[in-house]
Chain A
Amino acid sequence: MPNTLTDLSKELLASDSLHARARAFVEAFESGSAMPESFDALAVDIARFQCSHIEGYARLVRARGLSPDALHTAAEFPATPADAFKVSRVFAFPESEATATFRTSGTTIGQRGEHFMRTTATYDAAAIAFGRWALMHDLALPVRMAVLGPSPTESPDSSLTHMIAAFFSSFGEPSSESPYIIEGDVIDLARLDAIVATLLVDSDRPLFLFGTSFAFVHLLDALGDQPFPLPSKSRVMLTGGTKGKSREVSASDLRQSLAGAFAIDAQAIVSEYGMTELSSQFYETTLRDPNAPHGLYAEPPWARVVPVDPDTLAPVAEGDVGIARIEDLMNIDSAFAVLTADRVRRVPGGFELLGRTPGAAPRGCSIAIDELLGR
């Protein structure tokens, strides 16, 4: 932590410089240019910065017997456990400098993880750039959007809500009607119906519908057996699973049900994989490649998903399953590498997401942390 104003200024300048270098990755991606520097060069500088300014991370590095100055690749630095966001401060600036705080889902009991951000500009730039690539590349923009979720006013600490709001600002068609069609816990089907009707009347323009998987399950429940055809070329982005919710539905079943109800191609339904603890997102690629399978996620050039052995934390062999160590160059002021409990496998074109680490082996009456926290 800085001791003087000068220390603070230096710290913020160092952070600003790293943000600028990170945004240069995004700008190069958007312009189709070569990346301005290697992933490892920026990753190592971010990791060293975090070692200097986040006490917990410095302790973790020291405990491994590592010296940041002697490390020259991202892989050499330990990843921050995702749960660290629940128990500790994972940010490299004074709390008073935070402009946004994203919190992990409140659906599980216990402490919510907190991701403090000094600025959301880098997050926004990356989210918009990769969202455009994965979801919007063939759409005439702006596009009419609807969100099966709360507005940023209702849910100011949700990174997902923030990201969708950023999409709306960049890609959304302005409208007098709010795009948020859930108020409280209630889906306003009439509003969604009115939006769709308007689009169908006005030259069959598409709708982009966003939401969590579970919100879509609720929507299907509300629709019952009634079809709810969307305009042609409409598409859906959904995120999160339904495990632990009141009704569990497999991703495949949900996709098929949505495709049927909306009368759209299943390839137009794309899953996003993201975490509050990260600043980058990952998408299925079916909108870019109709032959791509569902379950295959692509990374932007500023993030990589490395399957690691859960015991040794070393990368597993190509094609083997490991838990996801996610290196995210946009996470400048928090954790450039986050260790998750999600199982992943590298495949050509990206990675497969295989769900959470399986529940604890039977333990008799001793409860497992997975059960306790509903992870």
Chain B
Amino acid sequence: MRRSRDDRFATVRRLVWAAHDVVEARAKIVDAIADESGLSREGVDLALREHVEIDATDAEIDTLVATAGDADCVHVVLSANVFVAALRAIAIARAAAPRVVVRLSKRDTIFASALVDAADDPAIEIVDAIAFEKIRSGEVHVYGRDETIASIRARAPGLVVRGHGSGFGAIFATNAISDRELSRIVGDIIVFDQRGCLSPRIVAVVGDFDLAKRLGERLASALRIAAESVPRGRLTDREQRESREYIDLMRFGGELFESDSAVVGVARSDAIILPPPGRHVHLLHAPSIDALRNAFAPFSRFMTCVATDAPSALSLTGTRICRFGEMQRPRLTGPVDLRASL
């Protein structure tokens, strides 16, 4: 039996209200999420205050419902790092199906559990594991690494598996960046300590090395100031190692601006280097927007989001294009990853 639009809408709206309640009562979960995620307490608070889509409009929810599809059951596999993403993932699943089964990431359990508890929707069930081989109908929505998606797809032949894989964000600046714009860019960088697929890890500017270097210095300074109110959380061992590798690489081949809380490397060449998450930014330059577009073309399938001051000059198929400061604030209209499902 097909569900009505109103039923779907109501279940999503109920989730958004639940998210609102969780955010309002966030003091109860901030410390636990900080422990679990490695983010600082202030970083968790920032994410909850400003990056949960509790202000979703009816029109936005309508759009989400209209594009969610239709299934008798959706199994959702959530990924780690961007803990607030549980709202969107579960909302899309619930819009699509009268029954939703959610497997949490072991490293991000608290927000999603609190959300499902607050929603008090008997159609949503959290489980420890999913036997994909035994699922006979419905869809599987997988958020995570490409390998995880491929592995689940192999275990669930014949099922519709919608995979949202790994990616990164970038910033393209064609004009001088004002202090206000810089502040917005910093906001995109610091939330979730850059561990999301929307997080910008590369900033590309149209201009020469000296221009890039000046921007790098300003960006590093702005990141240092931002860390006074929202400190960087702890880096994993691997992130620390990759940070050291990136710093050595940029000492050799670029200009480095580093502090206790962030690293900005300014490249002398247009080589695209992806620094580790944890507030590391690789800044490169090119003589024109066309040159930038060409330099990034081989990476386009990995680029989830680009913030730019020249959106009309970009045509990156499948990449979400937005303004500075909006990378981590996608409206609740559907999946944030517009790339073809893996």
Contacts and interface: CB of A to CB of B under 8 A. Distances in A.
Interface residues of A, number: 33
Given A87-B254, A88-B268, A361 B240 contact: no
Contacts of B276: 369
Contacts of A373: 274
B164 interface: yes
Interface residues of B, number: 53
A59 B268 CA distance: 14
A87 B269 contact: yes
A90 B273 CA distance: 17
A365 B167 contact: yes
Interface string A84-114: 1011101000000000000000000111000
A63 B244 CA distance: 12
Interface string B243-265: 01100111111100000000000
Contact of B240 (A57, A111, A311, A339): A311
Contact of B267 (A87, A360, A369): A87
A56 interface: yes
A311 B304 CA distance: 30
Contacts of A110: 271-272, 298-299
B79 interface: yes
Interface in B36-93: 79-82, 85
B80 A367 contact: no
B146 interface: yes
- Which of A59, A87, A111, A373 neighbours the largest number of chain B CB atoms within 10 Å of its CB? A87
A57 B80 contact: no
B271 A365 contact: no
A87 B253 contact: yes
B302 interface: yes
B3 interface: no
A341 to B, nearest CB: 9
A372 B302 CA distance: 7
A78 B252 CA distance: 11
Contacts of B107: 362, 364
Given A87-B271, A110-B298, A369-B274, A364 B168 contact: no
A364 B145 contact: yes
A367 B274 CA distance: 9
Interface in B86-116: 105, 107-108
Contact of A311 (B237, B271, B277, B299): B237
Interface in A40-65: 56-57, 59-60, 63
A311 B241 contact: yes
A311 B252 CA distance: 18
A196 to B, nearest CB: 40
Interface in A354-375: 360-369, 371-373
A286 interface: no
A291 B250 CA distance: 45
A114 B334 CA distance: 43
Given A111-B269, A364-B144, A60 B251 contact: yes
Nearest to B194: A366
A56 B273 CA distance: 17
Nearest to A112: B271
B80 A362 contact: yes
Nearest to A58: B252
A310 interface: yes
A59 B251 contact: yes
A103 B304 CA distance: 30
B236 interface: yes
Interface stretch (B154-162, B195-203, B206-214, B219-227): B195-203
B89 to A, nearest CB: 11
A83 interface: yes
B180 interface: no
Contacts of B253: 56, 84, 87-88
Nearest to B240: A311
A81 interface: yes
A363 B80 contact: yes
Top 6 closest pairs, chain A to chain B, by CB: A88-B253, A364-B79, A364-B81, A87-B253, A367-B166, A365-B197
12 contacts: A56-B251, A78-B248, A81-B248, A81-B252, A111-B269, A362-B107, A362-B148, A365-B337, A366-B167, A366-B277, A369-B274, A369-B275
Interface of B: 79-82, 85, 105, 107-108, 143-146, 148, 164-168, 194-197, 199, 236-238, 240-242, 244-245, 248-254, 267-269, 271-277, 298-299, 302, 304, 337
Interface of A: 56-57, 59-60, 63, 78, 80-81, 83-84, 86-88, 90, 109-111, 310-311, 339, 360-369, 371-373
Given A87-B250, A365-B304, 14 more contacts: A56-B252, A59-B252, A60-B252, A88-B252, A362-B107, A362-B148, A363-B166, A365-B164, A365-B196, A366-B166, A366-B168, A367-B197, A367-B274, A373-B274
